[in-house]
Amino acid sequence: MTDKDWLAERFEDNRSHLTAVAYRMLGSPAEADDAVQETWLRLSRTERDDVENLRGWLTTTVARICLDMLRSRRASRAEPLDEAEPVAHDETPEHDAILADSVGLALLVVLDQLDPAERLAFVLHDMFAVPFEEIAPIVQRTSAAARQLASRARRRVQGAEATPDRARQRELVDAFLAASRNGDFEALLAVLDPDVVARADAAAAAMGADAEVRGADDVTKTFAGRAKAARPAMVGGEPGLVWAQGGVPRVVFVFRAARGRIVEIELVADPERIESLNVVY
């Protein structure tokens, strides 16, 4: 076995770990894949003898790449999360494991509000138990300063747990999506307020949506069986849905809940409005 073959095998052994690190750093499966691929390219240009602790080398390298991507994202004020993720794709066990574990959409929203160095220190230390002595060179700080970065990030994360109202809205939106996909009229009626209003902006109306529909019965008829391509999202920090095409959000479902039911649904398709909504999916 050549050195390159050996490195390739070891890299594949660590791919799921690297993907998990990159996803938590970037909040985007597509960008995480890019970071992991760049890590492999750098490893392929490295001699085996130059790597004493391969897992540590790979973790440090993917973290540096993610840090550069985060800083570039902030500098360009790009949309922070998952612009390149298509709405329909073949889920892999690795992808499912990443999205199903402790890092939820709400936490990703909080992480995206952190300074890149804070996010890196928190993710590497609190989620992957990387010592601050190893984090410090990545963020170009002392170990004590790296510890402070993680501590500040930790306080912000702990202070941003979902409120009961937000948790209830997530339940309602999830139930709405399941009922709509299944064409379950009764289940849809159960989550809609009798006086619910569904509105569509001009761009969504141009795509075929009704400009306004009122009443649970008519809203149920509008959405039953018609949201199969939508997926859960955080919209401006609140639970919602998004439909994307070619990796670009095309329609965003904005929900408002009250009295334990959905009272308003807005379909937003105007690109400028979608950009302003900070959609995370």
Looking at the DSSP assignment, which residues form a beta bridge with residue 245? Answer: 248
Amino acid letter for position 234: M
DSSP code, position 127: I
Domain architecture of the chain: domains with CATH: 3-158 (1.20.140), 164-280 (3.10.450.50)
At residue 204, the pLDDT reads 93
Mean pLDDT for the stretch of residues 233-250: 84
Structure tokens at 243: 């439909």
Give the pLDDT band of residue 105 (cuts 50, 70, 90): low
Are the C-beta atoms of 14 and 58 separated by less than 8 Å?
A: yes
At residue 135, the pLDDT reads 95
Mean pLDDT for the stretch of residues 216-220: 94
At residue 176, the pLDDT reads 93
3-class secondary structure, 153: helix
Say how far residue 217 (Cα) sits from the centre of its chain. Answer: 33
Mean pLDDT for the stretch of residues 12-34: 88
Q: Which of the residue ranges 79-88, 164-173, 197-206, 226-235 has the most confident prediction, judged by mean pLDDT? A: 197-206
Amino acid letter for position 85: E
pLDDT at residue 77 greater than cutoff 60: no
Terminal Cα distance for the chain, rounded: 42
Q: In terms of pTM, does the model score above 0.85? A: no
The arrangement of strands across the sheet holding 261-268 comes to 212-214, 192-200, 261-268, 248-258, 238-245, 231-235, 279-280
Mean pLDDT for the stretch of residues 163-191: 85
Q: Which of 16-20, 50-54, 78-82 has the lowest mean pLDDT?
A: 78-82
Give the pLDDT band of residue 154 (cuts 50, 70, 90): confident
At residue 106, the pLDDT reads 57
CA-to-CA distance for 69 and 142, rounded, in angstroms? 22
